[in-house]
A and B are shown apart, each in its own frame.
Chain A
Amino acid sequence: MKAFEEKWTAWIDDQLTGRELEEFLASLPDRATAEAEKQSAKKLGSFLREQAVALSNADFFSHQLRERLDRESAPARSARDAVQTGWWTIRRLLWGGITSLAVFALCTVMVLREKTPPSQSQYLTEILTYRVDPTVSPNATISMFQKKDDHVTVLWVEGLQSLPAEYASK
């Protein structure tokens, strides 16, 4: 099984044929770009072949050129791979997060709704605390009761100072 890079090089050199060529072409994500790259590579090859006679040390030049090309292409490829890997990871994380939040919200609401027990206090008002100022009303006494048949809670205050009728004004 050839690696992609090997097939790519073979394709550039027109050494891929038959079924292997078809499979390789089908695996290309963007064929137009690949074709353009192939043409560029061919042009570069032709150019280098033409200039090869002028080079005093063709092998060294070729080696230097290949190394530089490798250095330039390696970060781009790894960045592309990272983005693709990251994209899948982020997507899965996002889905997981959204689903978890939705389930959590639903469960929280259900639990909170079930937590309110159906007790008598739900139906009758409750007096929690009460007080009168002993300096203002020294004889005041307070009691409370619930009239369950009328669903009423009463705070009964006795001993407050009686007031004249004018205090009934609006």
Chain B
Amino acid sequence: MRARLLLPIAIFLVAIRIGGAALPEQTVWSGLIIASNSAPTEPTPAEITQIEGTLRKLFGYSQFQLIGQATKTLKTGEEDWLAASKYFSLQVDSRGEKADAYVLNLKLFQEQKLLLETKAKLSKASPLVIRGPQVGDGQLVIVLVVQ
């Protein structure tokens, strides 16, 4: 009798466990980076080191300075956050998870001016890099990574 009751409960728990495993909590790192060839004033931030080689190849710059960042843990997949520096801000609006990727609405502002608006499906295994405006002798680069 008790064994008969336990069987469906066990099946239920296994189903919930399997279903729950499909949506683990993930952290998305968003960074505003100034890429340049000027002399390094500080070491490359740890968050950039894993993508530094790719950024060098893409932009031809050797130095990367982090001017703004945000780290957001996604629980529901539908969260908003802001990564900001003194003059730039990246507004991120997560619209849920689809096929192992997060659908994000991104808005890049220069103070109050909207420079760029994009919608991307950020894969957990693939960073997104956005080339922003020229800043001094460097370049604004935006990076989003699922950690």
Set B11, B51, B100, B136: member contacting A167, Cβ < 8 A: B136
* B residues in contact with A108, CB < 8 Å: 15
A80–B52 Cα gap in the complex (Å)?
Answer: 80
Per-residue CB contact flags for chain B residues 1-20 toward chain A (1 = under 8 Å, else 0) read 00010011101101110110
Q: Does chain A have a CB within 8 A of B131?
A: yes
Q: Does chain A have a CB within 8 A of B24?
A: no
Asked if A147 contacts B118 (CB within 8 A), the reply is no
Number of A-B contacts (CB under 8 A): 177
* B residues in contact with A151, CB < 8 Å: 125-127
Number of B residues contacting the other chain (C-beta, 8 Å)? 58
- Could you tell me the distance in whole angstroms from the C-beta of B1 to the nearest C-beta in chain A? 11
Asked if B11 contacts A152 (CB within 8 A), the reply is no
Asked if A102 contacts B15 (CB within 8 A), the reply is yes
**Which secondary structure characterizes the binding site on chain A?**
mixed
A2–B8 Cα gap in the complex (Å)?
Answer: 43
Number of A residues contacting the other chain (C-beta, 8 Å)? 53
B residues neighboring A (CB under 8 Å): 4, 7-9, 11-12, 14-16, 18-19, 22, 34, 36, 51, 53-54, 57-58, 65-68, 85-88, 99-101, 103, 110, 113-123, 125-138, 140
Q: Does chain B have a CB within 8 A of A71?
A: no
A-B contact pairs, 17 of them (CB 8 A): A102-B7, A105-B16, A108-B15, A113-B18, A122-B100, A124-B123, A126-B120, A130-B116, A131-B117, A132-B115, A137-B115, A164-B136, A165-B136, A165-B138, A167-B110, A168-B34, A168-B135
